[in-house]
Amino acid sequence: MMKLKTSLIIVGLLMLSVSSQSQNYKNKMDSLVNSFRVNQATKAYDNLAYAKAIRRYEPLYQKGYLADSVKSQLAQAYLKVQESQKAEEVYAQMQENTFSTNDLFFYAQALKYNGKYAEADRYMAKYLDANVEDSRAIRQNNSLPTIEKILSEERYLIEDVDFNSRQSDFGAIVFDDKVLFASAREVDVVIRREYAWKETPYLNVFSAKVKEDSYGNPKLLSTNLKSMYHDGPVCINAEGNELYITRNTFNNLIGKKGVDGTNHLKLMLSQKLSDGTWSKPKDISINDQGYSTGHAYITKNNQRLYFASDRPGGYGGSDIWYVNRTDNGWSEPQNLGEEVNTEGDEMFPFIDAENKLYFASNGHLGLGGLDLFVATDKNGQYQVHNMGYPINSEKDDFSLFLKEDGVNGYFASNRIGGKGDDDIYRFKILDAVSFKKHLKSKLLDKQTRQIIANTPVQLSDKDGNVIKELVSDAQGMIETDLPLETREIILAVNAVDYYPYSDEIDVSQDVDAHEMELVPLPVYGIYGKVFLLPDMQPIPEVTLLMEAKTGDRKTAVSNAEGAFKTKLKPDTEYDLVFTKKAYFTKRVKFSTVGRDTGYVNVNEFVELEMEKAEVGKSIEIEILYDLGKWNIREDAATELDDMIQFLNDNPSIKIELGSHTDARGTKRSNQTLSQKRAESAVQYMVDRGIASDRIQAKGYGETRLKNKCADGVPCSEEEHQANRRSEVTIIAM
């Protein structure tokens, strides 16, 4: 029995050993197979066959077999075939401490491509820390504020065209009555030719006849322009007899940098034959076998050829270059310079009728991928601006062509919503990019933060030469454009009631939020607004009479917004009288006695509200009488003087001056007293020049009480006082 147990244990141990060896063998085989598959995928990646690389990487990635260093290649392959969302997802699965500096840059690009600008800024900043001289990162660092500004201005009307295919279409130009463009749509129905980058057909040059807002069916432009590989885009000279075509025998629109035995892009020239057809293209002298040369644009005078190239002497990636025509052909290529070119890719140059340069770039600050930019040359220095939204998007936007009218044109984009890979769009410029620097500044009182309107502002250079003379508007703003070469300006203001102001500011970039804060002189004054009852709308052109107790008088007039501002004297009491034709006069009191210097807002403690004069409209005026008397006291004359002013300002108005008493005393005595008081007030005004037929005196006694205080009803003195009043009612206008 013991021998049997021992035998069973030995058998079991042998079976476990065999199973373990079998699993180890399987694991080794899986490891070898997976390693082989990774190597095959990486080989496809290195050969720029990104679609094939993705097919081979994806199953390994899904099973967790890819190291982060290889995941990086998968993410970059996704970016190469415009699968930015998948690229972002792969980068997000990687450990950030395994990122290379290139991973940081490309992750930022993927996030930007997907419209996640704030997060993209975070990774671009990390990349810049490790690559402090990278011109792309310098330009694109902290991009969110600029991008938000770009997106806030809709500068273009965008429409797609009806000849786009499901493949790549781009490089549209107008020649005669046709649109010429490059397209990867199928031509050969028997033999399908694909290039490995995205496994799509090769490019050929097509033409479509323009029919107002539509187009004819696209046709191959010429069989003589067709090769086994990429053909297009093209440009044509002004005479229409020379066609420059971009051609390659390799699967990359730009190619790899360096001499690596690969056939890159090259430019070829086709001549128009006497029968109207195009000749077989021939190489031109500016090509460099080891580098790419493509995307030509020939100037209208046929003397300069612009192109994109990754040849040595550039700033990185592909740059914009040019050559000049000579007696022997073409000059040596010249790089367009660091204002235009970056460590990224610049391509698809185009020159408009005003000699502005348009190009596509992923190195300048943009919305994502390739953006379209416009540049102007000023004394050998280029000023570059993003063309803005919506011609640019978070995807690739490139190959711009502008018609002679300078307003309408074409471009290409792989933005969401298109028909295929890259699509051609036509556009109309609604708000062209300005190449003058924009300056905007607000003029304010430093103490009160009040706007200072209608005040001259002088702009000078550092040498004191006056550039412009402006005047602040009703909002205290000045706004102007400045020449591109302007770097610093001096703003100078000499405003009444303020110390002279001068400030030197940097205008190397647009200035949109500057403030000129003026320090007030030690003066006394008031400002405010006059409003209309009951809707409280500002009243323009109201005359303000300032009557000092010393006898001094001065006037001011409210502006179109009902606002006024004026100086006063120190330690002086004033009556402020507001008058305007067809409005009842308004009087308020104000004193500078004991006040600090500066302007005071009268609206903060006085109701500056006036009423319109209309037939049947009544207002109360305060005319004080001694008990049982009807003679006009000196302190009552002020109200009557205001009424005289009102009648003089409105010579067609007739009024009734009504006098009222409270219920104390007999009705007869009250009636008599009120009539005499009304007549006394009327006589006061007649004696001072008001025609007697314009004023009626009416005593109402206690017949029109305003409250409950009739005979026998106990009331306070204040309640009785409310019934003792004088009223002016308009009876004719």
pLDDT tens, position by position, 379-418: 778 989 999 999 999 999 999 999 999 999 999 999 988 8
Angle, helices 50-62 vs 68-80, to 10°: value is 140
- List the beta strands (DSSP E) in 71-143: none
Q: How far is CA 473 from the centre of its chain?
A: 22
| pLDDT score of 555 more than 80 | yes
CA-CA distances (angstroms) from residue 600 to 525, 540, 608? 6, 20, 14
* Average pLDDT, integer, range 267-280: 93
Does position 255 have pLDDT exceeding 80, yes or no? no
Distances, alpha carbon 480 to alpha carbons 200, 385, 473, 506, in Å: 51, 18, 12, 15
pLDDT at 131: 86
CATH of the domain at 88: 1.25.40.10
Around Cβ 326, how many Cβ atoms within 10 Å?
A: 10
Structural contact between residues 505 and 513, judged by C-beta atoms closer than 8 angstroms: no
Please check whether residues 358 and 396 belong to one and the same domain.
yes
Whether 146 is covered by a domain: the verdict is no
Mean pLDDT of 194-209: 73
Total domains in the chain come to 5
Domain that holds residue 488: 437-516
Domain co-membership, 181 together with 272: yes
Cα distance between the two ends of the chain = 137
- Evaluate whether residue 86 is within a structural domain: yes
Residues 309/295, Cβ–Cβ less than 8 Å: no
How do residues 614-624 score in pLDDT, each as one tens digit? 899 888 887 87
Clarify whether residues 562 and 528 are in a common domain: yes
Q: In the chain, how many H helices and how many E strands? A: 11, 45
Q: What is the pLDDT confidence band of residue 114, given thresholds at 50, 70 and 90?
A: confident
Asked whether residue 625 falls in the same domain as residue 604, the answer is: no
pLDDT tens, 363-380?
Answer: 999 998 899 999 998 777
Count the Cβ atoms, other than its own, within 10 Å of residue 331: 15
Using a cut of 0.75, tell me whether the model's pTM lies above it. no
Q: What are the phi and psi torsion angles at 250 (to 5°)?
A: -135, 165
pLDDT in tens, 279-329: 999 999 999 888 999 999 999 999 999 999 999 999 988 999 999 999 999
Q: Residue 288 corresponds to which tokens in the numbers above?
A: 């460099």
User: Average per-residue pLDDT in the chain?
Assistant: 86
**pLDDT tier at 252 (50, 70, 90 boundaries)?**
very low
Same-domain pairing of 113 and 237: no
pLDDT given for residue 29 in this prediction: 44
Task: Show the CA angle centred on residue 667, arms to residues 665 and 670, nearest 5°.
Answer: 70
Rank 74-83, 143-152, 301-310, 475-484 by mean pLDDT and report only the highest: 301-310
Whether 144 is covered by a domain: the verdict is no
Share of the chain above pLDDT 90, in %: 52
Tokens of 46: 């290195």
Is 299 or 115 the better-scoring residue by pLDDT?
Answer: 299
Q: How many other β-carbons are positioned within 10 Å of the β-carbon of residue 275?
A: 5
pLDDT score for 571:
92
601 and 630 inside one domain: no
H or E stretch at 24:
helix 2-46
Neighbours of 349 (CB within 10 A): 24
Is the domain of 571 the same as that of 696? Answer: no
Burial 162-181 (b: 16+ CB within 10 A, else e): ebbbebbbbbbbbeeebbbb
| Position 46 pLDDT exceeds 80 | no
